[in-house]
A and B are shown apart, each in its own frame.
Chain A
């Protein structure tokens, strides 16, 4: 087996330079001993090394079936090694652990569905990330977003006044089209708190406009927070910084509680949904989220079925639909999403495989957030997705997740697919009845 190539990353390299053998051993064993239990033991003891998880992984399939990229192959290079050596790993081995866990696994959980025992490799990769975080060996770019979370409580270093400015700016823009539109900030007792991820005000601000237009035209009683807590995203979950994840989620839920809303509706983001609905609440000790969380896909479906939004015209070009892991494998929203797509589009061409079995975008799980050093590996590591997209023959792909957008965009560009990406909200905004518009 050829030696694995390590990609230079200032965050990993400088963190690794400070490691001592004692520290490596003590951190690994402390995390394994204090933070893991029955699950990890059962997963390691039960795994029969059959390799049947391999074909589930887009990295494995795209890298010409290189066994180092199969889910079990990644476990072998990380967790098994830590257990076999009682935590006595070399610095280079730790660097490889960080590269594998942060940049070669999207935690998409597709392989979980292919393991006969249901072994959760994503969970094991999260433990590796937790260990790397505690060792201070994290990729620079994603660590920067975690720093931003810690300092500003949002992912993109958005300052408090910039946030409100962005909302007012989008309100102004939208009022050109719909004069009565408002973006209600800090409206106590509204039915819905709408929260977004940091990148929306930062560089996809028009999505806030679109969401406001949909909310307004649907006659929804909604509000957005004017304080930190507006950002539902969570890169701390992906760096392994559980404590910071707890702070972030607590602020988000606390904000909803302070505004006395009945539920939180969130934009088209996958990882934030995983954080708010699945992992963050658990860290805080809530079995299910303390305030009901509705993902945009489900919200659109509700609005459509309650007759609050109506189709003015159908989107004419054939479209395909990309199932994001965190809202499909993570929340089963694939059918509802398709119903909305079919309502607004003339033709939906399915990718194969689809729904729970869809291939990952290769951006999620914080992988795209690890930044430029890993871009080539990430894009060449998802050739299978390009083939899957190409086979549909359509020129428009709906991907209702920010990370999926980022990942698919790079793939479409690299493999010259000439496909245009859209959020489902783009289509709805474009094709719904807007009686308030002038």
Chain B
């Protein structure tokens, strides 16, 4: 069990991070090349001021009309995405590992807060699943991959929570937690989780088109 743990928390973690970062770089370089070769409109009309204006507006809860039309979704999705980043990045246990691995550490959040954030993520995943099952227009466009990415996001939080409270066998759960986390990391550049880095770009581009060319708001 220890050997497995050492492997997933050691070399495999390095590999996952490498694939995550290099994968994103690869995707962005490929996008840039493709824009340059076949879609020059994107680069010609990209505009920093209006791109950032759009990103900013859509980063404010209820800033866009559609967020006001769907208040529950707005609250859930903001809470979900914030928790998704804050919980793993500032968790004490992760920080210790990070410190041991590369000697870097920053602040951590109290355990109780981490628990709440984890439950927010899991609750939001349930909400998203519920939407996919019950809202016809969401159900209509839901594919197997949507369930896949939802599961990939939920798994590390669920297993982390269970491991922390030692519900179920601790060691296998911990290994499962690390493994699912690594799967999620590796999946980000290559699945629709890539909206993590694509969304700001598509947002900025349409913000530039609406702001600089069409003199209209895009929110």
Interface flag for B32 (CB, 8 Å): yes
Residue of chain A at shortest CB distance from B136 = A67
Contacts of A60 in B (CB 8 A): 137
B183 to chain A, nearest CB (A): 18
Contacts of B177 in A (CB 8 A): none
Given the known interface contacts A38-B31, A56-B66, A331-B216, the answer about A117 and B137 at a Cβ–Cβ threshold of 8 Å is no
Residue of chain A at shortest CB distance from B189 = A45
CA distance A287 to B37 in the complex (A): 17
CB atoms of B32 and A38 under 8 A apart: yes
State which residues 189-219 of B face A: CB under 8 Å.
192, 194-195, 198-199, 201-203, 205-207, 210, 213-219
Interface flag for B129 (CB, 8 Å): no
Contacts of B216 in A (CB 8 A): 328-332, 356
Q: What is the 8 Å Cβ interface bit string for chain A, positions 39-68, against chain B (1 contact, 0 not)?
A: 111110111111110111000100001011
Contacts of A67 in B (CB 8 A): 136-137, 139-141
Interface flag for A435 (CB, 8 Å): no
Interface flag for B54 (CB, 8 Å): yes
CB atoms of B137 and A72 under 8 A apart: yes
Given the known interface contacts A119-B202, A287-B44, A357-B65, the answer about A41 and B34 at a Cβ–Cβ threshold of 8 Å is yes
Q: What is the 8 Å Cβ interface bit string for chain B, positions 132-143, against chain A (1 contact, 0 not)?
A: 000111111111
CA distance A70 to B141 in the complex (A): 10
State which residues 139-185 of B face A: CB under 8 Å.
139-143, 146, 149
CB atoms of B136 and A113 under 8 A apart: no
CB atoms of B65 and A114 under 8 A apart: yes
CB atoms of B136 and A65 under 8 A apart: yes
State which residues 27-75 of B face A: CB under 8 Å.
31-32, 34-35, 37-39, 41-42, 44-45, 54, 58, 64-66, 69-70, 73
CB atoms of A1 and B140 under 8 A apart: yes
CA distance A82 to B199 in the complex (A): 23
Contacts of B141 in A (CB 8 A): 49, 51, 67, 70, 72-73, 76
CA distance A418 to B98 in the complex (A): 71
CB atoms of A278 and B214 under 8 A apart: yes
CB atoms of A54 and B41 under 8 A apart: no
Residue of chain A at shortest CB distance from B27 = A45
CA distance A297 to B64 in the complex (A): 27
CA distance A325 to B59 in the complex (A): 25
CA distance A112 to B216 in the complex (A): 12
Residue of chain A at shortest CB distance from B67 = A116
Contacts of B142 in A (CB 8 A): 49
Interface flag for A118 (CB, 8 Å): yes
A286 to chain B, nearest CB (A): 11
Q: Among A35, A39, A52, which residue has its beta carbon within 8 angstroms of that of B66?
A: A52
Interface flag for A422 (CB, 8 Å): no
Given the known interface contacts A36-B38, A37-B37, A330-B216, the answer about A114 and B137 at a Cβ–Cβ threshold of 8 Å is no
CB atoms of A49 and B195 under 8 A apart: no
State which residues 276-333 of A face B: CB under 8 Å.
278, 282, 287-288, 328-332
CA distance A117 to B205 in the complex (A): 10
Interface flag for A120 (CB, 8 Å): yes
Q: Which 5 A-B pairs have the closest CB atoms?
A: A332-B215, A37-B38, A118-B206, A37-B39, A67-B140
